[in-house]
Structure formats: C-alpha cells, structure tokens
C-alpha cells in the first residue's frame, strides 16, 4: 500500500491542476486499486455509480477503512487525495461505473 505525505500536496480543489479521467465498469467481481503503484498517479476525485438493485460496498484510503455502502441505483463522489480504494459489488447483480480523475504524483506536489 502506498504512503502519501498529504502535507506536501496542493489542494485537491485547485482548478489549475491538470487531470486525466479514467472509467472502468463495475461487474460482479471485487475491485481493488492502488493508483500510485499502478499508474504513478493520485486520485483527485472518485465517482462511483451503483446501477444494481442492491447496495455497493466500498472502502477508500486503506483496506482497513470503514466499509461504506452506496444505496441501489445511486452514486457517490469522493473528493480529496488518495490512491487506495476497494469496491465490493453484489456477486450476482453487480453493475455500475468507476470514474476517477487521476493526477501524476509529481504534479500534485507543492
């Protein structure tokens, strides 16, 4: 898991920071990402869309973070710097979308 020095980063709300948007479908399999290790980038904004008829679980920041649930047919947007997140869809009806705004870690630094 990546370690991030949050004190060395610009504000994630800074409109001058260029970013790349990446989308990924959510199916029935669990999804885990560490974008700093995988892409050398930090997540600026994460949008999770649950198109399933059951709740969609997710954790942000670390595998030991509190599990949060997105209600059926709804979405959540998470702002702020992080690189680790996990998604736990329903194993039968899982359906949705991950949309993340990614920033190279060097660009995010002050």
Topology at the third CATH level for domain 21-108: Jelly Rolls (2.60.120)
Which pLDDT belongs to residue 65? Answer: 93
Q: Which of helix, strand or coil describes residue 101? A: strand
In whole angstroms, what is the distance from residue 58 CA to residue 88 CA? Answer: 6
Which pLDDT belongs to residue 8? Answer: 84
Which residue ranges make up each domain of the chain? 21-108
Q: What is the pLDDT of residues 52-104, one digit of tens each?
A: 999 999 999 988 999 999 999 999 999 999 999 999 999 898 899 999 999 99
pLDDT-derived band of residue 1, with 50, 70 and 90 as boundaries?
low
In whole angstroms, what is the distance from residue 13 CA to residue 101 CA? Answer: 12
Residue 2 confidence (pLDDT) above 80: no
Q: What is the pLDDT of residues 5-45, one digit of tens each?
A: 778 889 988 889 999 999 999 999 999 999 999 999 999 99
Burial letters for 53-81: b for 16+ Cβ neighbours within 10 Å, e otherwise?
A: ebbbbbbbbeeeeeeeebeeeeebebebb
């Amino acid at each position: 898991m990546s370690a991030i020095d949050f004190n060395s980063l610009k504000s994630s709300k800074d409109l001058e920071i260029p970013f790349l948007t990446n989308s990924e479908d959510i199916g029935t399999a669990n999804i885990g990402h560490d974008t700093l290790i995988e892409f050398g980038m930090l997540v600026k904004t994460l949008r999770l869309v649950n198109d399933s008829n059951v709740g969609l679980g997710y954790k942000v920041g670390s595998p030991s973070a509190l599990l949060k649930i997105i209600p059926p047919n709804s979405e959540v947007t998470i702002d702020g710097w992080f690189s680790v997140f996990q998604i736990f869809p329903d194993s039968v009806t899982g359906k949705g979308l991950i949309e993340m705004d990614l920033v190279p870690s060097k660009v995010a630094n002050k």
